[in-house]
């Protein structure tokens, strides 16, 4: 196991004597900056100097967490990450910029309120009440940002009703899945942005719900999405990206990729493309180190942070 990978699996014992220190995964959760980027900031730009346990795991103080937030504030203001180090220690963080907090902003519902929305939607699906599902869907979009609707209500309820992997889904899930697939397809298909990306499904035959959630979140960045639910040959994908002048090729997968894909096919595709090659989904955690070595940008799992991370990438400010 490499030094970078050690951080992700720091034994609990390493943390007991450092109650005010946080492992890299927790810092990532608190700030919305993925671990690959945190390590790159440390190695390439000297922006962070984490503590180390005797076994070599990185641990971050609250001052480090605030520093990460300050870095993000300057990046979101338009400063290149390579320039941040020269100003961050002598200039206050720009207060005019939204602070990238771990917790939702004040207008984002929390706790019991979100549970109530989830329960209302689940009950409507269990009752087979399509009109009520449609009404709740409309109320959610009228009341909350898109990322909140998708990540805090729709996905949790969809997963709850689907049940355990491999089990036969019930009629409530089938109804909700059909409704949401239609609505999210409509949203993701609307073309109004000044640029577009190719979103490619590498997960194989499956329900398209998570892919459509990702596509919908991408549209929040004023970016159009060409969603390929089945992956073509990777060289054909490179031709398609060139012909359509795609701003990025985003590969979506909810599962780990094999060694041939990571060691040969993805590096070859990355070298062929004139635009960024990006990985999205649960595979980002499973193959994090290998994806970085292959030269891919890593957006992480489908979450409310996706629009911000993609915006930074397309603006040339997100590190690998």
Give the pLDDT confidence score for residue 212 in this predicted structure.
Answer: 93
How far is 108 from 148, CA to CA, in rounded Å? 7
Give the pLDDT confidence score for residue 1 in this predicted structure.
Answer: 45
The token pair at 93 is 């963080």
How far is 162 from 88, CA to CA, in rounded Å? 47
For residues 222-245, average pLDDT: 90
Give the pLDDT confidence score for residue 220 in this predicted structure.
Answer: 84
Q: How far apart are the first and last CA of the chain?
A: 21
For residues 124-150, average pLDDT: 90
Length of the chain equals 320
Give the pLDDT confidence score for residue 3 in this predicted structure.
Answer: 52
Yes or no: say if 228 and 198 are a contact pair by the CB < 8 Å rule. Answer: yes
Residue 34 CB-half CA count within 13 A: 28
How far is 276 from 224, CA to CA, in rounded Å? 16
Give the pLDDT confidence score for residue 169 in this predicted structure.
Answer: 78
Residue extent(s) of CATH 3.40.50.280 domains in the chain: 193-314
Residue extent(s) of CATH 1.10.1240 domains in the chain: 112-187
Q: pLDDT band at residue 4, thresholds of 50, 70 and 90? A: low
How far is 317 from 41, CA to CA, in rounded Å? 12
Level-2 CATH architecture, domain 193-314:
3-Layer(aba) Sandwich (3.40)
For residues 92-99, average pLDDT: 46
The DSSP symbol for 162 reads H
Torsion of CA 232, 238, 241, 245, to 10 degrees: -170
Write phi, then psi, for 22 (nearest 5 degrees): -130, 140
Give the pLDDT confidence score for residue 2 in this predicted structure.
Answer: 46
From 71-75, 82-86, 191-195, 292-296, the region with the lowest mean pLDDT: 82-86
Indicate the burial class of 188 (C-beta count within 10 angstroms; 0-12, 13-18, 19 or more): buried
> Which residues are registered as beta bridge partners of 224?
196
The token pair at 228 is 């390929």
3-state secondary structure string across 19-48:
CCCEEHHHHHHHHCCCHHHHHHHHHHHCCC
For residues 189-198, average pLDDT: 85
Level-2 CATH architecture, domain 112-187:
Orthogonal Bundle (1.10)
Query: Candidates 3.30.70.980, 1.10.240.10, 3.40.720.10, 1.10.1660.10; correct CATH number of 3-87?
Result: 1.10.1660.10
- DSSP E strands, the chain: 22-23, 51-52, 58-60, 196-201, 224-228, 249-252, 277-280, 297-300
Question: Per-residue pLDDT for 248 more than 90?
Answer: yes
For residues 183-188, average pLDDT: 90
Read off the pTM.
0.64
3-state secondary structure of 236: helix
For residues 37-51, average pLDDT: 82
């Amino acid at each position: 196991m490499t030094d970078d990978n050690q951080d992700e699996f720091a034994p609990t014992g390493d943390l007991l004597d450092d109650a005010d220190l946080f492992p890299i995964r927790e810092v990532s959760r608190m700030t919305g900056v993925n671990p690959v980027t945190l390590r790159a900031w440390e190695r390439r730009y000297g922006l962070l100097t984490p503590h180390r346990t005797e076994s070599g795991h990185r641990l971050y103080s609250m001052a480090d967490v605030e520093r990460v937030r300050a870095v993000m504030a300057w990046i979101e203001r338009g400063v290149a990450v390579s320039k941040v180090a020269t100003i961050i220690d002598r200039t206050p963080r720009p207060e005019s910029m939204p602070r990238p907090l771990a917790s939702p902003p004040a207008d984002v519902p929390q706790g019991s309120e979100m549970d109530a929305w989830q329960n209302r939607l689940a009950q409507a699906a269990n009752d087979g009440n399509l009109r009520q599902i449609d009404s709740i869907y409309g109320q959610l979009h009228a009341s909350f940002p898109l990322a909140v609707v998708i990540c805090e209500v729709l996905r949790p309820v969809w997963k709850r009703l689907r049940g355990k992997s491999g089990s036969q889904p019930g009629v409530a899930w089938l109804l909700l899945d059909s409704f949401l697939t239609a609505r999210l397809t409509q949203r993701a298909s609307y073309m109004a942005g000044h640029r577009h990306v190719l979103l490619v499904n590498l997960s194989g035959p499956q329900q398209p719900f998570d892919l459509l959630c990702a596509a919908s979140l991408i549209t929040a960045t004023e970016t159009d999405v060409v969603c390929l639910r089945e992956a073509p040959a990777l060289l054909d994908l490179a031709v398609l990206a060139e012909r359509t002048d795609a701003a990025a090729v985003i590969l979506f997968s909810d599962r780990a990729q094999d060694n041939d894909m990571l060691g040969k096919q993805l590096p070859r595709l990355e070298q062929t493309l004139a635009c960024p090659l990006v990985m999205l989904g649960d595979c980002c955690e499973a193959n994090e180190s290998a994806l970085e070595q292959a030269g891919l940008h890593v957006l992480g799992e489908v979450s409310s942070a996706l629009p911000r991370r993609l915006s930074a990438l397309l603006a040339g400010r997100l590190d690998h």
